[in-house]
Chains A and B, each alone.
Chain A
Amino acid sequence: MKKTNIAILVLIAISIVVLISYTGDLTTYETISSAKQKEGKFVNLIAKLDKRQPVEYDAVKNPNYLVFTAVDSLGNSIKVVYHNNKPTDMEKSDRIVLKGKMQGDHFECKDILLKCPSKYKDDPNAAKSLPSPVNG
């Protein structure tokens, strides 16, 4: 066999091994109840900000401490602790993806992805931003 062919095979084999090991690092999307069963495991939580509960953030005291309550589509809710600044527009988001681990009574969040319909995309509720004929 030619050396180039051997090199091709070896390098492709390495790439496949790399990709297979990557699938081991992949995490999963969970609901609050399924995440609770995997305490300590890094998961992605798809939830919403519970707007009835207070969002605790006081930059004067600690700009790296945010506590809020998240609620998922099944109606379960959980306290979330995030050691970073409060993302702007959090109240506006219609969906949040929380990356982190369940720890005891709360979800220890490492990263928050906000899904605001209007932030990077056109607003599906575009009509709302039109002036209404009544008050013009």
Chain B
Amino acid sequence: MNYIGENLLAGQIGHFFALLFLVASLFSTVAYFKASRLQDLVERKIWLRLARIGFALETVGVLAMFFTLYYIISHHLFEYKYAWSHSDRSLQVEYLLSCFWEGQEGSFMLWSFWHCVLGWVLIWKSKDWEPGVMTVISFAQFCVATMVMGVYFFGIKVGSSPFTLTRNEITAPIFSMPNYLTLLKDGNGLNTLLQNYWMVIHPPILFLGFASTIVPFAYAFAGLMRKNHDWTKPAIPWAAFSAAVLGLGVMMGAAWAYESLSFGGYWAWDPVENASLVPWLTLVAGLHTNLVYKNSGYSLRPTYFFYIISFVLVLYSTFLTRSGILGDTSVHAFVDLDMNTQLVLFVLVFFLPAMYLYIRNYKSIPAVIKEENVYSREFWIFIGSLVLFLSGMVIISKTSVPVFNKLFGTHMSPPEDAEFAYNQIQVFVAIVIGLLTALTQYLKYKDTPKAFLGKKIWIPTLIAVLISVSISLFGNINFDKKGPGFLFAIHMAIFAAVYAVVGNIAYIWLGLKGKIKAAGASVAHIGFGLVLVGILISSSKKTVLSWNTTGVSPLRVNPKEKNGATGDPAENITLFKAVATDMGKFMVTYVSDTLNAKDRKRYFEIDFKAKDGSEGFKLYPDVIKQNKGGEGFSANPAAKHYWYKDIFVYITSFQENTQPDTSSFKKYQLSVHDTVFYSNGMIILNKVSKNPAELKTKYAEDETALFMDMTVVAKDGRRYTANPGVAIKGLTELRQIPDTVQSQSLVFLFNGAPDQGSDKFKIGIKESGAITDLITLKVYEFPMINILWIGVIIMVIGFIMSIIQRVKRTPGYLKPVS
């Protein structure tokens, strides 16, 4: 059949360049490998040139694929499945790129793009390491290329192409019409969660972080092949770069989670977060042992191991997030594209040869026989690296429970309090790492004179003790939900983290004599310490402001159940439009809401006024209607930022008054046991009682309250209760307490007690399509969260400083190889 209006050329171009990418990367791998094995300089040069041509061609392939896919998405060519399932016409221009990383294929292309960039820097800089290192990178490119192929190889699907046609992938009646494109007017759109500015910047940074872990790995692999360990020097700035970018990428993900996800925080130990944190931990461990080797000759063997495992863990995290295996435990996971075997192979094809070479050459990797001195820097850096590595192993093992389930057919699932299961262990890691970060810089390599140590260390120690004790005493760190032991650990960790910050600030003067240029490591450590301080304070002092005391059901007031499900805080509070509601120290009003046509979000204006009149502000949390068949909405939080805390609010549900509310209250006079009818059933007044205990939360202690007890019987037999009431304070102040039966759209008002000589109570009943506009929201306070973000920035600055310093120190390193 000839279909009308399809742009088939774009797809053909895409397929062609995908094939070029695959073939060129394979060619480049072989040529680089050949060059790395040849001793003869002339021949080696020929192969090297061929390999570079291959790499240039694969770069062309990757870029062309990128532009082709961008063309398809930006021109809304919905005949292509990628555009149809990941974009639509209403999408803002800035989010067109985000469509790339909504699907697996696009994110693999992003990964290969960064491989190309890194590869060219390596070709420029890595001199005689180029053949070995680039063999690994070209091979990785080949593996990624197979992921975006989408061909069947002996009946097995290899990869998934972004250039497939919608009509070839989906069977639907409309594809029997030649002019189906005139009907296929719009795509499915980009997941609303990704329509956030962090999602434009976070994935590219994170993928650069992921991709860059291959460089230390490739150096280590090439070192094992050549049995030459000089790579450890050029690898240091690469490892530092990778740690900086990966760390930044992970924390940008945390910022995205904080700003746009509604799980009420920046970190939830979600499997996908863990899977990208763990390679960072092992990479930082490797960077430190690498420095130890360069300065003391110790720790070369662990350096190899850490660099190998970091990249393998990146591949493993790719497997976790893309195989669909996390389906039950994570919100992040990509759709399962039936590529599990291929993804497992992707991990093994790097892990097995690297471990084989490592184990076979283990004995020949030089190691110092003499034991490390306990007063030496190398000893404690090694211990710190080991702790980082093992903490990463513990995290990834816990994260891998779904994998164990799959392998052994078990049905284990995360513990009752999954986050605490991580926190209770990692808080001790924070203590150890904090202390080591604070102290280790003061030790010298080989041996430290004890007099030197004693002289330098007491000032920062004293300052850190003073600061952390005052935080402990006056900071109200009273996170006692998990018992005194954990609270004590938090206080210890706060001390260790403060000590890390103070110790490293002081070291810039005491150890480096104020030479800021040489202080990259110290600055990075200060940033890391601040990150720890920020995490500890903001999480242990996170408080719920929207603590709800209204409408507490009798079920909840069960003191025995304090730690059970019913003892949990009721975190949602209901706001009616234009009615000020009491929320702790604030009066909160839902003022209005507007639908923004451009970004299709509904913004709610929430007015906060402190009861003591000290402050007032407005917040605009929003909701965006879900696409892709979802009927609800996803909520984007809003936060009021102070330097010392954030007030963080998000909408958990909203109800809109769709039709104008024309109905008014009908007045009735009822005696006890009287019945009235409404459109869908009847209403019985059972009794009227004074100050009923079960409704105690609805009136104040100094008020006298009268409540009606009414039963609504709907036609379908369901029964509801309603308790409208009045509360009287003194002689003049009268307050009505209306009640509603939402599902029957009924509102009840207690209009008055019987007149003299009558036993009929006055009641107002309103029946309407929708009762009123209302929202429910949660409000949290995160203290000191800015320390965390500032810490991340300082840490990255520190990494950059030390990279610049190291690159400058290498003579001729900035000159390109001729």
Given contacts A3-B371, A4-B382, contact A64 B630 (CB under 8 A): no
Nearest Cβ on chain B to A35's Cβ, whole angstroms = 12
Interface flags for B774-818 (1: CB within 8 Å of A; 0: not) read: 101010000000000000000000000000000000000000000
Given known pairs A26-B414, A26-B415, A85-B572, the reply for A123 and B629 (CB within 8 Å) is: yes
Measured CA separation A86–B176 after assembly (Å): 42
B693 within 8 Å of A (CB atoms): no
- B121 located at the interface, meaning its Cβ lies under 8 Å from any Cβ of chain A in the complex: no
Q: Which residues of B contact A26 (CB under 8 A)?
A: 401, 412-415
Q: Which residues of B contact A51 (CB under 8 A)?
A: none
A59 touching B383, Cβ below 8 Å = no
Interface string of B628-647 (1 = CB under 8 A from A): 11111110000000000000
- How far in angstroms is the closest Cβ of chain A from B256? 15
Interface size class, chain B: 35 or more
Partner of A84, one of B387, B421, B551, B571: B571
Tell me if A28 and B184 are in contact (CB < 8 A).
Answer: no
Question: Using a CB-CB cutoff of 8 Å, which residues 315-348 of chain B contact chain A?
Answer: 327-328, 331-335
User: Are B174 and A129 within 8 A (Cβ)?
Assistant: no
Given contacts A2-B371, A86-B653, A108 and B565 within 8 Å (CB-CB)? yes
Q: How far is the CB of A39 from chain B (nearest CB, A)?
A: 12
Q: Which residues of A contact B425 (CB under 8 A)?
A: 18
Does A78 touch B at the CB level, under 8 Å? no
Closest CB in chain B relative to A26 CB, distance in Å:
5
Q: Is the CB of A130 within 8 A of B742?
A: no
Q: Which B residues touch A133, using CB under 8 A?
A: 173-174, 176-177, 180, 183
| Closest chain B CB from A129 CB (angstroms) | 6
B382 with A122: CB separation less than 8 A: no
Q: Does A88 contact B (CB under 8 A)?
A: yes
Query: How many angstroms from the CA of A85 to the CA of B650 in the assembled complex?
Result: 12
Q: A83 CB to closest chain B CB, in angstroms? A: 6
Question: A127 CA to B328 CA in the complex, in Å?
Answer: 25
Q: How far is the CB of B195 from chain A (nearest CB, A)?
A: 14
B726 to A: closest C-beta gap in Å: 18
Which of A7, A22, A81, A90 has most B Cβ within 10 Å?
A: A22
Contacts of B386 in A (CB 8 A): 7-8, 11
Could you tell me the distance between the alpha carbons of A131 and B626 in the complex, rounded to whole angstroms? 19
Q: Please, which residue of chain A has its CB at the minimum distance from the CB of B382?
A: A4
A127 near B630 with CB under 8 A, answer: no
Contact indicator B383/A130 (Cβ below 8 Å): no
Q: Known: A110-B568, A126-B85, A136-B183. Contact between A85 and B170, CB under 8 A?
A: no
Q: How far is the CA of A109 from the CA of B743 in the complex (A)?
A: 22
Q: Choose from B185, B390, B411, B570 the contact partner of A29 (Cβ within 8 Å).
A: B411
In whole angstroms, how far apart are the Cα atoms of A11 and B391 in the complex?
10
Across the interface, B653 reaches (CB within 8 A) one of A2, A88, A109, A129, namely A88
Query: Using an 8 Å CB-CB cutoff, how does the interface string of A104-124 with B read, 1 for contact, 0 for none?
Result: 000011100101111111110
Among A28, A83, A84, which residue has the most Cβ atoms of chain B within 10 A?
A83
Binary interface profile of A, 93-113, with partner B (CB < 8 Å = 1, else 0)?
Answer: 000010111010000111001
Q: Is A38 an interface residue (CB 8 A)?
A: no
Q: A29-B411, A88-B633, A133-B177 are in contact. Are A62 and B553 (CB under 8 A)?
A: yes
Asked if B90 is an interface residue, CB under 8 A from chain A, the answer is: no
A42 to B418, CA, bound (A): 12
Q: What residues of chain B lie closer than 8 Å to A68, measured between beta carbons? A: none
Residues A4 and B412 in contact, CB atoms below 8 Å apart: no
B86 → chain A closest CB, angstroms: 9
Q: With A26-B413, A131-B184 in contact, do A101 and B565 touch (Cβ < 8 Å)? A: yes
How many A-B contacts if CB must be within 8 Å? 200
**If the complex has contacts A22-B398, A120-B333, A136-B183, are A54 and B629 also in contact, measured as CB distance less than 8 A?**
no
Interface string of A9-45 (1 = CB under 8 A from B): 0011011001100110111110000000000001010
Complex: how many Å from CA A28 to CA B170?
A: 37
- The reply to whether B412 and A126 form a contact with Cβ atoms under 8 Å apart is no
* Residue in B85, B185, B564 whose beta carbon sits within 8 Å of that of A101 in the complex: B564
Does any Cβ of A come within 8 Å of B740's Cβ? yes
Give Cα A14–Cα B387 distance, bound, in whole angstroms: 10
Q: A97 to B415, alpha carbons, bound, how many Å?
A: 14
Q: Which residues of chain B are within 8 angstroms of A81 by Cβ–Cβ distance?
A: 555
In the complex, the answer to whether A83 meets B556 with C-beta atoms within 8 Å is yes
What CA separation (Å) do A84 and B188 show in the bound complex? Answer: 31
Question: Is the Cβ of B630 less than 8 Å from the Cβ of A89?
Answer: yes
Q: How far is the CA of A12 from the CA of B183 in the complex (A)?
A: 62
Contacts of B628 in A (CB 8 A): 118-119, 122-123, 129
B635 to chain A, nearest CB (A): 8
Query: Taking the nearest CB of chain B, how far is it from the CB of A89, in angstroms?
Result: 4
Determine the chain A residues whose CB is within 8 A of the CB of B390 once the complex forms: 11-12, 14-15
A82 to chain B, nearest CB (A): 9
Residue of A nearest to B576 (CB): A60
B451 at the interface (CB under 8 A from A): no
Assembled-state Cα–Cα distance A32/B550 (Å): 32
Nearest Cβ distance between residue A63 and chain B, in whole angstroms? 4
Contact of A58 (CB < 8 Å), options: B188, B412, B743: B743
Q: How long is the Cα–Cα vector from A101 to B416 in the complex, in angstroms? A: 10
Given A2-B371, A65-B551, decide whether A15 and B421 contact each other with a Cβ distance below 8 A: no
On whether the beta carbons of B630 and A116 are closer than 8 Å, the reply is yes
B630 touches A83 (CB 8 A): no
Q: Are the C-beta atoms of A4 and B333 separated by less than 8 Å?
A: no
The smallest C-beta distance from A79 to any residue of chain B, in angstroms, reads 12
Contact A89 B626 (CB under 8 A): yes
Contact with B565, one of A89, A100, A113, A129 (Cβ below 8 angstroms): A100
Alpha-carbon gap, A116 to B633, bound state (A): 13
| Residue contact A129 to B742, C-beta cutoff 8 Å | no
Residues of B within 8 A of A127 (CB): 170-172
**Can you list 7 A-B contacts (CB < 8 A)?**
A3-B371, A60-B574, A88-B626, A91-B631, A100-B565, A120-B193, A133-B176
3 closest residue pairs by CB, A with B: A88-B632, A62-B551, A64-B570
Q: Contacts A15-B394, A60-B771, A110-B568 given; 5 further ones with Cβ under 8 A?
A: A3-B379, A7-B386, A64-B571, A89-B632, A130-B184
